[in-house]
Amino acid sequence: MRILYGYSNCTDKTYKKIVSERNASAMQPDQKYHGLLIKGFSANGAELRCFSGLPINRAVTARKWVSEPDEQEGNAQFHYISTINLPGIRQLMIFFGAFFGVLREKKDSETYAVCDFLNSAVSLGFVFACKLRRIKNIAIVTDLPDMFDTGEIRKKVGNYLLRRFDGYVFLTEYMNEAVNKGKPYIVLEGHVDENVPANDTPLFYENNDGKKVIVYAGNIQGKYGIRDLTEGFIKADIPDSELRVYGKGDYDRELMKLAEKNPGIMYMGTKPNDEIVREEQKVSLLVNPRPSAPEYTKYSFPSKNMEYMASGTPLLTTKLPGMPEEYDPYVYLIEEESPEGIAKALQDIFSRSPRERIEKGAAAREFVLKNKTNVIQAKRIMDLLMTLK
């Protein structure tokens, strides 16, 4: 099978170069998401030709001309579309680069296209070129147009574009119900690296320093439940406990003030993803307090939950509507979404024996490595493509 892949990312090598320009250390979720999928396709024997506008804009670099050499990694060839780094002009050049790139590609009966729907310029180029070439084209949909907060025009363009694909990969079943008009689809909540290192240090801090370390790593915005988590942690008053928070957002200043008054709360800032992943394997508990009531949660599945489960450390999370029931036995659930409810959940978890908590985390890791790796999920997408005759 030959896959033309349209997105806005790059190899990890080139990404590190770009990150050094923007003076940032955190890996964007889409870089990891698509990078793992591409490796999953390659592991299943697919040949890939990836077209990218690169994750660069005026906020990232002052370069007016953006151009990177093509790269080859295993079965995947990466072509980076050269652009003038100015709003509007950049998007137009990416569109034409993707459009003519697909037109020039060789095609046979086993050639298909896969697009990151959120990258409108690449996706539009792919949609028009694939129609002309009669190449079946599916969209990876990780957000819906009506959930965009960038204005009505982008919503209309997004809905127009979404209807032009031949099939879909959705995060949740609710997404399919909202936009699909009977075309083939699969639900793929996310994926973990099949090569994620084993957890050889469960409860490391608890066993060595006596510290029950709890970690939240992600977007630090009040609407994502971080305020309830910090207040719930304080109310729980668990002996020898520590809450470490990684990330940035609109709550970080308030969090720093809270940390000054509460020595058990530590704001860690942003760190490289591989460093955070190693840290996640050493702590006692990982938490995702995202509220389940907002409408958007029906159309999302936090990639962070996948990463948490793969770590082998137990996860405490809210029962998000987009999370299938098959996950429930492998996580601890916050029954009441409030500081009091989080405090109660924390107290309950730490009343359990360390062995029981270790076994909970190990079972979660086994579940995602058996069912949700990048190689397994890429194969499901390839099977979907094969149905589009």
Identify the CATH number of the domain in which residue 18 sits: 3.40.50.2000
Look at residue 60 and tell me whether its pLDDT is greater than 90: no
pLDDT above 80 (res 27): no
Residue 81 domain flag: yes
State how far the Cα of 126 lies from the Cα of 93, in Å rounded to an integer: 13
For residue 179, being part of any structural domain is answered with yes
- What pLDDT is stored for residue 155 in this prediction? 87
Digit-coded pLDDT (tens) for 160-193: 999 999 999 999 999 999 999 999 999 999 999 9
Give the other-Cβ count within 10 Å of 324's Cβ. 12
Mean pLDDT computed over 251-267: 92
Lowest mean pLDDT among 60-74, 213-227, 254-268: 60-74
What was the pLDDT predicted at 157? 87
Task: Tell me the two tokens of residue 30.
Answer: 């889409």
Q: What is the pLDDT of residue 148?
A: 75
Band of pLDDT at residue 291, cut at 50, 70 and 90: very high
Task: Give 22-87 as a DSSP string.
Answer: HT--PPPHHHHHHHHHHHHHHHTT-EEEEEE--S--TTT---SEE----EEETTEEEEEPPEE-ST
Q: Tokens in use for 331?
A: 């996580």
Q: Are 352 and 379 members of one domain?
A: no
How many residues are listed for the chain in this entry? 389
Residue 196 within a domain? no
**Do 170 and 70 have their domain in common?**
yes
Span 275-297, average pLDDT: 95
- Specify the pTM: 0.92
For 274, other C-beta atoms within 10 Å of its C-beta total: 10
Residue 26 banded pLDDT, cuts 50, 70, 90: low
- The per-residue pLDDT of the chain, averaged, comes to 93
The first and second tokens of residue 292, run together, are 């389940």
224 and 135: one domain? Answer: no
* 53-57, 96-100, 206-210: range with lowest mean pLDDT: 53-57
197 in any annotated domain: no
